[in-house]
Structure 1
Amino acid sequence: MIRKHSLAIGVSLAVLAVGAAHAQANRAEVIHWWTSGGESAAIQEIANGYKAAGGTWVDSAIAGGEAARSAAINRIVGGNPSTAAQFNTSQQFLDIVKGGMLNNVDEVAKKNDWDKILPAPILKSIKIDGHFYAVPVNIHMPAWFWYSKAAFAKAGIAAEPKTPEEFFAALDKLKAAGITPVAFGGQPWQEKIVFDALLAHIGGADLYLKVYKGDQKAIASPEFKNVLASFRKLKGYTDAGSPNRNWNDATSMVISGKAGVQIMGDWAKGEFQAAKQTAGKEFGCFPGFGPKAPYIIAGDVFVFPKTSDAAAIKSQQLLATVMTSPATQVAFNNKKGSIPIRTDVDAKAMDICAQQGIAAMKDVSRQLPNSEMLVAPDITGALQDVVTKFWNTNQSVDDAVKAVGAAVKG
C-alpha cells in the first residue's frame, strides 16, 4: 500500500511538474513605472495582447523611473530577475549589457525586420555589438507643447505660435487674462525636459547636437546663452505651486483650463484622453515652432534579464513578439500618447497629434536623438543638476555656461 501510494504521489508530482513547467513557459513578470491613469491604461493593452497570445501577465508596477530601474537591477544582481524590465531608449542599460546580464532578442528582431523598420537613433540605442538587447515599444517626443483651447480662446490667442517670439507673446496674453501661462512641475527631470525643448526649438538641432557632443565653442556661443536666458524667462510664467509638482498634476491644470500651456512629452496626451478630452477639440498640440521643427526621439524599451531557463526564455520571446506586433503597437500607443515604433501600421485610427508625429518621423532631417542617447547616464545626471540649479537660483547665464561646459566633459 505504501509503495502504491508512493508511486501515485510520484506520478501526481510528475504531472504537476509538467503542468507547472507549461504554465511557467508563458508566465511573464514585468517591472515598469507606468502608474498614472493614462499610463496604466496603456500598459494594460500590452498585458491584454500577451494574455491573448496565451501568456500569464504578472504586473510589477513601481512608481518612478529611477526606483523601477534600481529595483530591476537589484533583482538581477540578487539572482531573482523579473522576466522583463522597463528602461528608457537611452544608454541606461548599457552597463548591464556589458556585464552580460541580459538575454538578446535577435530571433524576434530578425523575424520582424527591425533593421529595416526602426529609425536609426532607436537602432543605435538597442543594437549593441551586433545584438538586440532591448525591445522598443514606442517613440516618445519629450518636447511637445500642449495647450487648453478654452484658455487660448479666453486670452484671445487665435493661432498656435510659429516662432519663439509668438510663443512668449501668447504667454503674455494668458497672463493678462488671469490664467497661469505655463503649467510646470518643478522636479529635476521635468526641468531638464523643458530645457532640452528650448535648446532644440530655440537653439536649433545643430546647436543641440553640438552641446551634447561637448563642443565648448558652441556652449559659450551667444545662441546658447540665449537659450539659457529664454529658459530663465520661462520661469516667470509659472505659478508659485510649481516646485515638486508631479507632471500629471501639471497636465491636469491644462485639462481644467487653469493653465494655458505645458511643455511635456507626449505621454501627457494619455492624461487628456483619460479625462475624456479629444485632441483638436478641448486641447491642442504642436511639436515645436514651424513645419520643420526638430522632432526629438525618445521612448521606452523593455530588457530581458539573463536566464538559461528554457521556459523563461520562451516567455521573453513571446513577450517581445507581442510588444512589437502591429495590433499591440496601435492599441498601446493610442493610450500612451506616443507613436508606434513600426512604420507599417495603420495610422488612421490615431489622433491628430499622433499623426503629426508620424509625419515628422517620415522626415529624417527632423529626427533628433534625445540627450540620453547622446551622453552617458553620469553626464546626464550632472547636466540635470546644472539645469536645476540654474532654474532654482539666481545663478548668472555666464556661470551656467561654465557649469554646462564642465558637466559635458564628464
Structure 2
Amino acid sequence: MKTMMKLLLAGVALAGFSIQAHAEDKPTIEILSSWTSGGEAAALNVIKTEFEKRGGVWKDSSIAGFGAADAAFQNRVVAGDPPGAKQGVIGLAAADFVSQGLFNPIDDVAATGKWADVLPKSIQDLISYDGKAYLVPTGAHGESWVFYSKDAFAKAGITEEPKTWDAFFADLDKLKAAGIVPVAWGGQPWQQSKVFNMVLLSQVGIDGFQKIYVEKDKSEASVAGVKKTLEILAKLHTYIDDGAAGRNWNDATAMLITAKAGVQFMGDWAKGEFTVAGKEPGKDYGCMIVPESPGMVYIADSFYFPKTGKAETDKAQKLLAEVVMDPAVQVEFSLKKGSVPARSDVDKTKLDVCAQKGLELMSAGSIVPDQAIVLTPQQVGQLDDFVDEYWSGGTYDAAAAAENFFAIFE
C-alpha cells in the first residue's frame, strides 16, 4: 500500500511539474499600453483573444494616458525591466530606442509576411530603421474629423454639414441658441494640438502643411497660415463649456453620445466610444472633415518590442507581430478602435461610412503626417505647450503667437 501511495504521489508531482513546465514553455508577453477607454480596450481585446488562441500567454499592463504610459515605459527601460511589448505611434518616437539597440527587430516576420507588399509606403518606411522592421502597425487613424450628434443638430435645426468655416460658426450659434453646448472640447494639451493641426491643414493645404512641419518653412505664407489658424482657435474658444479644462477625449465624446453637445474635434478613434454605446455612424452621429480642408492629418499606432533577454518573450514578440498583421485581426481591430486597417489587402466591405471616407482620402494621397510622426518628442512637447499657452492665455494675439510658433523648430 505504501509503495502504491508513493508511486501515486510521485505521479501527481510529475504531472504537476509537467503542467507547470508546459505553461512556462508557452510564449508569454507583458503588454504595456495606454488603451484604457471602452473602444480602445475592446480593440486591444481582439488582439489578445487571437494571441491566446494561438497559444500565447498575455499579461496586461494598461496605464491611462499615453503620456503616463510613456513615462512608465521609459522608467522601466532605465531600470532594466522593460515589458515585452509597448503600444505607441510609428515615427520618430521609437527612433532613439532603436538607435541605442534597445528594441528587437522583427524583420524575419515582416519578410515572411511580405509586409512591404501590403502596407502603404509611408507606413512601411516609418516602421523600419536601417532597412529592418522594428514596429508592427495595428492601424491608421484620421485626425481631421468633426463628429456631430444627429439629435443635437436636429434640435438646433441644422440640416446639412457645413462646408465653410463661416457656415460652421453659424451652426455653432444655432446649437448655442438651442441650449446645447456647441463644442465638446477635450481640454488637454495633446488634444488641443490636434485641433490646431486640423485647422492648419484647412488654411495652408497639403503642400503648405508639409513645408511647415517637414521643411520647417518660415515664409510669409506659412506665418500667415499659422496666424489664420490661431484666429479660428480663438473663435472656437467662445463655444466651449466651463468644464472643458482637463477633460478627457472620451468624456467629450460622451457629451455627443448623450446629445449634450453638438460637435467634437477628434481622431477617428472616437468612433470606438460610439460603438460601445450602441450608436451607428450615419444614423446616430455624423462625421465630416474639418471645413475647407483638402485632406486629413493621419497617425498610425503600432507595437514595438524591447529587448528583455528572455527567450520566451522573444518568441512571444514574433507571435504577437504575426497576430497583429493578420488581415482578419486588422479588420476586427479597426471596427472596435474606429481606425482604418494598415494593410491594403483586407476586406473593406465591413468598414463603416466614416472609415470609407478616410480610406478614400488615404488612397488618393490626400493625407499629411501627425506631428508625432515627423517631429522629435521634445518638439511635440513644445508644440503642445505653445498651443496650450495660447488657448488658455486669454489674450489671443494671433499675429504675435504666429511669429513665436516657429521657435519650436529651432
Alignment of 1:52-131 (within 5 A): 52-131=53-132
1:379 equivalent in structure 2? 379
CA contact (8 A) 2:298 2:368 kept: yes
Q: Tell me, what secondary structure is at the counterpart of 2:219?
A: helix
Structure 1: distance between partners of 2:124 and 2:327:
18
The TM-score with structure 2 as length reference comes to 0.92
Give 2:266's aligned amino acid: M
Write the deviation string for residues 248-291 of structure 1: whole angstroms up to 9, x where unpaired: 1111111111111000011111111111100111100123346x
* Identical positions, percent: 43
Q: Tell me, what secondary structure is at the counterpart of 1:236?
A: helix
CA contact (8 A) 1:101 1:305 kept: yes
Structure 1: distance between partners of 2:297 and 2:195:
12
Does the alignment pair 1:216 with 2:218? yes
Structure 2: distance between partners of 1:408 and 1:21:
53
Alpha-carbon spacing, 1:20–1:77, altered in 2? closer, same or farther (3 Å): farther
Q: Comparing 371-380 with 15-24, which one deviates more in the overlay?
A: 15-24
Structure 1: distance between partners of 2:383 and 2:220:
16
Give 1:105's aligned amino acid: I
Structure 2: distance between partners of 1:23 and 1:360:
46
- How far 1:19 sits from its partner (Å)? 5.1
Q: Tell me, what secondary structure is at the counterpart of 2:216?
A: coil
Write the deviation string for residues 31-71 of structure 1: whole angstroms up to 9, x where unpaired: 11111111111111110110111111111111110111222
Structure 2: distance between partners of 1:377 and 1:24:
38
Give 1:367's aligned amino acid: I
- How far 1:308 sits from its partner (Å)? 4.2
Among candidates 228, 247, 270, match of residue 226 of structure 1:
228
Structure 2: distance between partners of 1:288 and 1:325:
32
Alpha-carbon spacing, 1:75–1:182, altered in 2? closer, same or farther (3 Å): same
- How far 1:407 sits from its partner (Å)? 1.4
- How far 1:116 sits from its partner (Å)? 2.3
Structure 1: distance between partners of 2:248 and 2:258:
16
Structure 1: distance between partners of 2:291 and 2:400:
28
RMSD: 2.2
2:152 equivalent in structure 1? 151
Q: Tell me, what secondary structure is at the counterpart of 2:142?
A: coil
CA contact (8 A) 1:211 1:218 kept: no
- How far 1:184 sits from its partner (Å)? 0.1
2:268 equivalent in structure 1? 266
Give 2:278's aligned amino acid: K
Structure 2: distance between partners of 1:299 and 1:280:
24
Alignment of 1:5-404 (within 5 A): 16=17, 20=21, 23-212=24-213, 213-218=215-220, 221-289=223-291, 293-364=294-365, 366-393=366-393, 394-404=395-405
Structure 2: distance between partners of 1:223 and 1:67:
33
CA contact (8 A) 1:42 1:336 kept: yes
Alpha-carbon spacing, 1:346–1:266, altered in 2? closer, same or farther (3 Å): same
Structure 2: distance between partners of 1:14 and 1:308:
29
CA contact (8 A) 1:199 1:207 kept: no
Write the deviation string for residues 348-394 of structure 1: whole angstroms up to 9, x where unpaired: 12211112122222112x02111111211111111111111110111
Give 1:175's aligned amino acid: K
CA contact (8 A) 1:117 1:342 kept: yes
Give 1:370's aligned amino acid: D
Q: Tell me, what secondary structure is at the counterpart of 2:343?
A: coil
Write the deviation string for residues 204-246 of structure 1: whole angstroms up to 9, x where unpaired: 2222222213211157633321111111111111111111111
- How far 1:176 sits from its partner (Å)? 2.2
Q: Tell me, what secondary structure is at the counterpart of 1:299?
A: strand
Structure 2: distance between partners of 1:273 and 1:350:
13
User: Aligned pair count?
Assistant: 400
Alpha-carbon spacing, 1:215–1:309, altered in 2? closer, same or farther (3 Å): same
CA contact (8 A) 1:38 1:274 kept: yes
Q: Comparing 209-218 with 390-399, which one deviates more in the overlay?
A: 209-218
Q: Tell me, what secondary structure is at the counterpart of 1:263?
A: strand
Structure 2 unaligned blocks of 5 or more: 1-5
2:3 equivalent in structure 1? none
CA contact (8 A) 1:140 1:267 kept: yes
Structure 1: distance between partners of 2:328 and 2:352:
16
Structure 2: distance between partners of 1:322 and 1:218:
48
Structure 1: distance between partners of 2:222 and 2:134:
37
Alpha-carbon spacing, 1:163–1:98, altered in 2? closer, same or farther (3 Å): same
Give 1:108's aligned amino acid: V
CA contact (8 A) 1:152 1:260 kept: yes
Q: Tell me, what secondary structure is at the counterpart of 2:368?
A: strand
Give 2:100's aligned amino acid: G
Q: Tell me, what secondary structure is at the counterpart of 1:138?
A: strand
Alpha-carbon spacing, 1:67–1:165, altered in 2? closer, same or farther (3 Å): same
Structure 2: distance between partners of 1:318 and 1:78:
26
Alpha-carbon spacing, 1:25–1:308, altered in 2? closer, same or farther (3 Å): farther
- How far 1:178 sits from its partner (Å)? 1.9
Alpha-carbon spacing, 1:205–1:105, altered in 2? closer, same or farther (3 Å): same
Q: Tell me, what secondary structure is at the counterpart of 1:137?
A: strand
Alpha-carbon spacing, 1:140–1:349, altered in 2? closer, same or farther (3 Å): same
Structure 2: distance between partners of 1:401 and 1:159:
33
Write the deviation string for residues 283-329 of structure 1: whole angstroms up to 9, x where unpaired: 00123346x73122202111101144332211100000001101111
